[in-house]
Amino acid sequence: MGEFDLIARYFKRPVRRAVLGVGDDCALLQPAAGCLLAISSDMLVQGRHFLADTDPYRLGHKALAVNLSDLAACGAQPLGFTLALALPDVDAAWLEPFSRGLLALADEHDCELVGGDTTRGPLNICITVFGEVPAVGGATQALLRSGARSGDDLYVSGSLGDARLALETLRGQWKLAPALLKRARQRLEQPTPRLALGRSLRGLASAAIDVSDGLLGDLAHVLRASGVGARIEATALRDLLACRGTELDAAVPAQHQRDCVLAGGDDYELAFTAPAERRADVLAAARDSGTPVTRIGQIDDGPGLRVLDAAGAAISGAWAAFDHFS
């Protein structure tokens, strides 16, 4: 099968809302009137972002999910995406499930594949997503990292830490019962981009970011951009692992569980801030979007980010955010 047959077979589908999709030199997208275009790219490299034996259906899902998560963090509505793919060879047994996993998530969020590039090389998946976000009276409603203010509440969506626990278990560090590992592994391999929550936080959250490199590291970006500090209540973190419970407690020390929540990475949840007087609105946004959110602390005047125990004493830890070049 040649390059163009491959594209036609696995990645070309009838155009839906794009003006022009796969097949010409450019795709054409039309954001709604009054909207700004939101754009983000993420690359997944074998051996770096995923293991060589990763299930291709789940990899297709994840490659798009990590990109959609960036749109979610901005409060954007997906429009479409491009896929730049380097493949060692044409392997139908890989391409078929990969494209199915990718396009199933794309359909779930009405995000059309409109173009890309296909070349031979070590397996590498680069996606660029395009979304739209309203601008009202010249001011964008996009959620940014820079809007957190002292006194704001600090929240996270969903669950944190499971992806890291799954990875460590797959590497042989922990022994988890199969059902427990399955739950954690689902979070590692098929993260859920929080698009509905991101949209419902427009005009409500003062700042937002998606948690890809670990909660503390990603929050540090928000604090720096906003010129504020924050404190996190350790007691509020207890229920954030999806695979928590007595079975996990027997296998993994409590302190390590907390470290996974604080610095695990690969979670693709939203961390966001909102004025304290809007707590009821945040709960309503969570309910309307069907996404659990947990209040974990508060923005203050600093310095930096502190994790406090029940008595208010600072907890220290070797929490380093993931950095490809450190």
In the complex, the residues that contact ligand ADP under the rule CB under 6 A are 7, 11, 22-25, 83, 85, 113, 115-118
**CB of residue 103 vs ligand ADP: minimum separation in angstroms?**
10
Of 57-65, 114-122, 288-296, 313-321, the segment contacting Mg ion by CB under 5 A is 114-122
Q: Which is nearer to ligand ADP, 25 or 53 (CB)?
A: 25
Of 221, 174, 202, 184, the residue nearest 274 (C-alpha):
202
Q: Which is nearer to Mg ion, 121 or 137 (CB)?
A: 121
**CB of residue 115 vs ligand ADP: minimum separation in angstroms?**
3
What is the maximum span of the chain, computed from C-alpha positions, in angstroms?
65
- Name 220's Cβ contacts closer than 8 Å, sequence gap at least 6: 304, 305, 321
Q: Which is nearer to ligand ADP, 2 or 290 (CB)?
A: 2
Q: Residue 211: what are its φ and ψ, rounded to 5°?
A: -90, 100
DSSP string spanning 83-131?
EEEEESS--HHHHHHHHHHHHHHHHHTT-EEEEEEEEESS-EEEEEEEE
**CB of residue 31 vs ligand ADP: minimum separation in angstroms?**
19
Distance between CA atoms of residues 301 and 309, nearest Å: 19
191 token code pair: 């993260």
Distance between CA atoms of residues 90 and 2, nearest Å: 8
The option from ligand ADP, Mg ion, none interacting with 144 (CB < 5 to 8 A, set by class) reads none
- Say how many C-beta atoms besides its own lie within 10 A of residue 136's C-beta: 10
Of 86-94, 109-117, 136-144, 257-265, the segment contacting Mg ion by CB under 5 A is 109-117
**CB of residue 151 vs ligand ADP: minimum separation in angstroms?**
47
By CB under 5 A, residue 117 contacts Mg ion = yes
Q: Which is nearer to ligand ADP, 8 or 236 (CB)?
A: 8
Q: Which is nearer to ligand ADP, 59 or 211 (CB)?
A: 59
